[in-house]
A and B are shown apart, each in its own frame.
Chain A
Amino acid sequence: MATDDLTLVKRVKTGDQRAFKLLVERYQRKIYAVALGMVKDKEEALDISQEAFVKVYKYLDHFKGDSSFYTWLYRITVNICIDALRKKQALRGEQVELDEAVKMDTAEANIGALGSRLGTNPQKSALRKELAEKIQQALETVPEKHRAILLLREVEGMSYEDLSRTLQIPKGTVMSRLFHARTKVQKILSEYLELDESKSGIGNE
């Protein structure tokens, strides 16, 4: 049976570096997926993932074990991503997105468009590269913090309780942000699929 996170953290604190390597190997893939969903660029996502682990190691003494290790790790990752996005926006002279002030487009997509075309198992529908890119584009339209919630929920499968702890927001906020993020992403994806269908007939089964 694999050693649990907290035991490994204790070992790292006594100087056992191999224990930290085990933690890196355990979470590297998911941390990368979240970072990629947040910043879109592959190289940048890899750099951010590495930085997140380095930071976690550096501040390990601050981790008291009150919450799970992975919620702490994801919180650090999301914060690094948000910092990186804000730096980029500032460099481009764009107005920094104040999350709570963002007006959400809650207009609904064509109901059932995604479900009827993809079913519940997207693997069956042979996810194509363009569709994967479209997912990235759709994520980009969602405000950072809403995006973070959506990614943590979908990639890590975090419960609302864990999301609330990770992002240090009330559970009600988790619920509403997740709802808005999903509405937005759904709309873009179903529009893309409808357009795609009219071009090539995908989903006509």
Chain B
Amino acid sequence: MALNPACQTFIPMLSPYVDGELTPQERVTVDHHLNVCRDCTGRVADLRAESGLIRHGLDLAADEVDFRDFAQKVMARLTPYKPPLMERVRISLSEMFLYQRATMVTSLVTAAVVLFVAVPTAVLWKGTPEGYARPQMMVSSVTVEKGAKVTPVVMTTDQGDAIIWMVSTEQASSQDGAQPSQEKAPDQDTGEVKKLDQTKPNGGEL
């Protein structure tokens, strides 16, 4: 088939025309030619069909391959870079923030809660006497009003501790000999009093 002489100039331009690689001016010139040349219009259609055919053909061929292990196989063949120790630590930390950001943030928040809430709570809880609020009181001395008649009242708790009240029943008008014995009453009374002395003060005791 004899080639139209006008087409000879345009044929080499058709491939870049299809690829969108012509200058706007060249493109306009080719467009004008295509409007009047049936052969070149057919050539353009051929180029487009061929382009799609190759792309689609190779795409189908790639579809047949299972790429699931591909990256793993490549990675297994690599010799990892070994940066200096400090650099590795820095990289590990930045990687942790990069790839496990959610986990890292959750862990840090949990750590902060434990540090600032749970630990002080536990410490305070341990230091507070059962059933009593702070501040803790310590008995420094026990005195009996001069001339008073004192009777000890002992209350024993389920844990074996004792609470003792010294009840002044009446103001002695006369100086009877009860006072010394009353003052010693806690000691003479029960062993529980001694036990109380040995244990840590529970607060609220006399």
Q: Mark A164-205, 1 if CB is under 8 A from B, else 0.
A: 000000000001101100100110011000000000000000
| Cβ–Cβ < 8 Å partners of B28 in chain A | none
Interface size class of B (residues with CB under 8 A): 35 or more
Number of A-B contacts (CB under 8 A): 161
Shortest C-beta distance, B7 to chain A (Å), equals 10
The total of chain A residues at the interface (CB under 8 A) is 63
Q: Which of B21, B45, B58, B80 contacts A36 (CB 8 A)?
A: B58
Q: Which of B49, B64, B80 contacts A122 (CB 8 A)?
A: B49
| Cβ–Cβ < 8 Å partners of A12 in chain B | 81
Does A14 contact B55, Cβ atoms closer than 8 Å? no
Q: What CA separation (Å) do A24 and B68 show in the bound complex? A: 11
Contact residues, B6-24 vs A (CB, 8 A):
12, 15-16, 19, 21
Q: What CA separation (Å) do A13 and B95 show in the bound complex? A: 13
Known A-B contacts: A127-B53, A132-B60. Give 17 more (CB < 8 A): A13-B81, A21-B74, A21-B75, A25-B71, A29-B62, A33-B59, A33-B62, A37-B54, A46-B70, A50-B74, A54-B77, A111-B1, A115-B48, A117-B49, A118-B52, A160-B16, A175-B21
Q: Pull 28 A–B residue pairs with CB atoms less than 8 Å apart, ordered by A.
A: A15-B80, A15-B81, A21-B71, A24-B70, A28-B71, A37-B58, A42-B65, A46-B65, A50-B74, A50-B77, A54-B74, A114-B45, A115-B49, A117-B49, A120-B49, A122-B49, A122-B53, A122-B56, A127-B53, A136-B57, A153-B19, A154-B51, A154-B58, A155-B55, A176-B12, A182-B15, A182-B51, A186-B46
